[in-house]
Amino acid sequence: MSVRPGVVQWVGSVFFTGFLFLWTFLYAIPFALICLFLPFPRRFALARAYAASVLWVLKWSCGLDYRIEGEPLPAGCHVTLWKHSSSWETMAMMVVIPRQVWVLKRELLWLPVVGLCLRQLHAIAIDRRAGHSAVSQVIAQGKDRLAEGDWAVIFPEGTRMPVGETRRYGVSGALLAQEAGCLIVPVAHNAGHFWPRRGLLKKPGMVRVVIGPPVNPAGREARQVNDQVQAWMESTVKSLTPAVTDPGGH
C-alpha cells in the first residue's frame, strides 16, 4: 500500500465530507418526490445507487475501499446484525445486503427531507427509551417487512461504538428472527479504524467486511442466541485490526 502524504489525505477527507453533505441533500430532494410514485423495490434501487456513488467517491478521494469475505448470504430474507463503529457501514449495508429495511432511532425521521426519505424506505423507527414496546414494534413491523421480501438490518449496539468497545447487544433482532422463522446473519468489519465515529480524517486502506455463519434461533433462548452472535462479531472485529497507513506520512 502506497503512503499518501498527510496534506493530500486531509484535502481528500475535507472534499469527501463536503461532497457527502451536498450530495445527500441534492439526492434527497428529488428522491423524496420521485418515490411518491414508485413501488418500494424501485425506491430501494435508488437508495442503493446513492450508497454506491458515495462509496466510489470515498475510494477516489480518500483511498478507502472494501472487500467482502466470509460466508455467502443465505437464500431468502433474514435478519442481519451489523457491528456499528462508523458511518461507513450505513452506506455499505445498502450495497452488500439485498433489498432491506433498517431499524433506527426515531429522531432521524425528524431530519428535514432525509426523514421523509427514510419513511419512504419503510424504516422501522423506534424510541430507544421505550424498552419492551420498542422491541414489540421491531418484531411487528419487521415480520411484515420480511414477509414482503425484505431483509431487516439492525445495529444491535444501538449506537456507534468507539473502536475496541462494545455494549450488550439488544435482543430485538434475535426475537424478530425467532418470530419470523428466519436466520440471523452477523456481519463484522473494521471500518471504525479508517472512518472513526468522530473526526474528519478518513484513512486510506481496505475495510474488511466479514459475513458470518447464519445462526438459527429456533427453539433457543433469545439471549443465548444474542450472546453467541455478539461473541462471534466482537472476536472477529478484533481479528481485523488493520495496518493503517499513517496519513501524516511518518
Question: Residue 69: enclosing H or E segment and its boundaries?
Answer: strand 64-70
Half-sphere exposure of residue 103, counting CA atoms within 13 Å on the CB side? 34
- CATH number 3.40.1130 is the correct assignment for the domain at 6-239: yes
Mean pLDDT of all residues in 76-104 = 97
Whole-number pLDDT of residue 48: 98
pTM above 0.75, yes or no: yes
237 neighbors 209 (Cβ within 8 angstroms): no
Give residue 242's pLDDT band: very low, low, confident or very high (50, 70, 90): low
86 alpha-carbon distance from chain centroid: 9
- Give 7's contacts (C-beta < 8 A, 6+ positions apart): none
- Residue found by looking up cell 430501494 in the block: 44
* Per-state percent for the chain, helix, strand, coil, to nearest 5: 50, 15, 35
Give the amino acid at 30: P
pLDDT in tens, 118-142: 999 999 998 877 678 889 999 999 9
Q: Which three cell numbers stand for residue 124?
A: 422501522
Asked if residue 250 has pLDDT above 80, the reply is: no
Q: Which residues pair with 147 in a beta bridge?
A: none
Q: Which residue has the higher pLDDT, 112 or 1?
A: 112
Contact 41, 99 (CB under 8 A): yes
Residue 34 confidence (pLDDT) above 70: yes
Apex 76 CA angle, 55 and 171, nearest 5? 80
**Arithmetic mean of pLDDT, 99-119:** 91
Q: What is the mean pLDDT of residues 45-62?
A: 98
Residue 246 pLDDT grade (very low, low, confident, very high; cuts 50, 70, 90) = very low
Provide the pLDDT for residue 249: 42
Taking 70 as the threshold, does the pLDDT of residue 202 lie above it?
Answer: yes
Q: For the chain, what is the mean pLDDT?
A: 92
